[in-house]
Amino acid sequence: MRADRLVAALLIMQARGRVTAAELADELEVSVATARRDLGALSAAGIPVYPQPGRGGGWSLLGGARTDLSGLSATEAQALFLLVGPAAAVSGEAKAALRKLLRALPPTFRADAEAAAGATMIDPTRWGERDRRRPEMVDLLQAAVIRQCKVRLTYTNSTRERTERLVDPWGLVDKDDIWYLLAGTERGQRTFRVDRIITADPTDQPAERPDNFTLHGAWQHVVNEVEQRRSRIWATVLIEARFVPVLRTQFGRHCRTDAELDHGRARVHLAAPTPLDIARNLAGWGAMIEVIEPPSVQAELARIGAELTARYTGGHGPTGEPNGDEPDQPMHNL
């Protein structure tokens, strides 16, 4: 769009001080004639841009006039470029935006901002994995969020039940490569996994959004609800302090450690949705871990141990095959 080119031309002149029509044309990837027309349009619009003929001439901002489009402090500029810089490696749009924003920064901020942009990068593909691309459904839903139009969804829930509903799309969240749509429905705010959306048809009906809605706040509410469901049962265990980091890896934020006890042991509190979920994660530790409470987790561990004992001892050979005609015992689905 021409408005974009005019802003870009102004930023280039601000950054370089003086620019020729040919240099501007090369930078903006337009013809020299178009670049001249854009420079003339800036001057006609009242912006103090003037040409200087002759050798070494070009177009300049009168008296070193500047247009600061960012309003950023040095610290804010570095923080922004640390965030946007990695995305520029995988997004052409982000790279173009970064270049334009860089030109808008005051010269004293520019060097640090460039360094911040190049300090980190994102490689979105795991080792041994093919390139991953964002699902096309995300692009469709994102366009609906921006246009603020209702979307008719065909959706399957966790039990594979298919439903159709008309929703107000409010925003999209990418959590560990799983995309979620936050939307308004007749029953209030709902969260939909994008990979369970079969079809999404934008409509011409305007979407409604609460006046105080923020995507960050709405998603934090979802996270809090999920975390509460995932931490309904807490267990207290004793384990050697040196193994606590392993438990933290297993249970994440649902692992809380008390002060270290005598003999190098630590008291740790672990949480999960059910006693069985905790027992499943602790069964492999054997006698290395001791569950102090609750009795429900102790009971699940005892039951799992009894099942394993019944399968691998008591009439079974060393290879695990039954001796004679004794029926094999079914193993619980761990």
Q: What are phi and psi of 169, to 5 degrees?
A: -70, 125
Nearest-CA neighbor of 280 among 313, 312, 305, 254? Answer: 305
pLDDT attached to residue 331: 37
Do 264 and 303 belong to one domain? yes
CA distance 98 to 155: 37
Query: In which band, very low, low, confident or very high, does the pLDDT at 199 lie, cut at 50, 70 and 90?
Result: very high
> 12: closest CA among 111, 103, 107, 110?
103
Q: How far apart are CA 181 and CA 95, in angstroms?
A: 26
Rounded to an integer, the average pLDDT of 178-206 is: 92
- Residue 32 inside a domain? The answer is yes
329 band by pLDDT with thresholds 50, 70 and 90: very low
Note the pLDDT of residue 76.
Answer: 61
**Does residue 198 form part of some domain?**
yes
Q: Which of 179, 212, 245 is the last residue of a domain?
A: 212
Please check whether residue 284 lies inside any domain of the structure: yes
Residues 182 and 140 both lie in one domain: yes
What's the structural domain count of the chain?
A: 4
**Would you say residue 219 lies in a domain?**
no
User: Within the chain, how many helices (H) and strands (E) appear?
Assistant: 11, 12
Tell me the C-alpha distance between 245 and 190, whole Å: 36
CATH number of the domain that residue 294 is part of: 3.30.70
Examine the pLDDT at 322 and tell me if it is beyond 70: no
Higher confidence at residue 214 or residue 166? 166
User: Taking CA 131 as the corner, what is the angle to CA 127 and CA 137, rounded to the nearest 5 degrees?
Assistant: 130
What does the mean pLDDT of the chain come to? Answer: 79
Lowest mean pLDDT among 19-28, 54-63, 71-80: 71-80
Residues 102 and 141 grouped into a single domain? no
Give pLDDT, residue 305.
Answer: 92
Q: Are 82 and 72 in contact (CB under 8 A)?
A: no
Q: 69 falls in which pLDDT band (50, 70, 90)?
A: low
Nearest to 280 by CA among 301, 256, 294: 301
Q: Are 86 and 29 in contact (CB under 8 A)?
A: no
- Here the CATH number for the domain that contains residue 20 is 1.10.10.10
Pair 153, 179 in one domain? yes
Look up the domain containing 271 and give its range: 231-312
**What is each CA distance from 232 to 225, 270, 274, 279, 289, in whole angstroms?**
11, 10, 7, 14, 21
- 175 compared with 194, residue with greater pLDDT: 194
Q: What is the pLDDT of residues 85-102, one digit of tens each?
A: 666 655 666 667 677 667
- Which residue(s) pair with 265 in the sheet? 240
Q: What is the pLDDT of residue 323?
A: 47
Residue 196 in domain: yes
Report pLDDT for 297.
Answer: 95
What 3-state DSSP class applies to 85? helix
User: 242 and 199 share a domain?
Assistant: no
Res 144 pLDDT > 80: yes
Taking the complete model, does pTM exceed 0.95, yes or no?
A: no
- DSSP SS3 for 198: strand
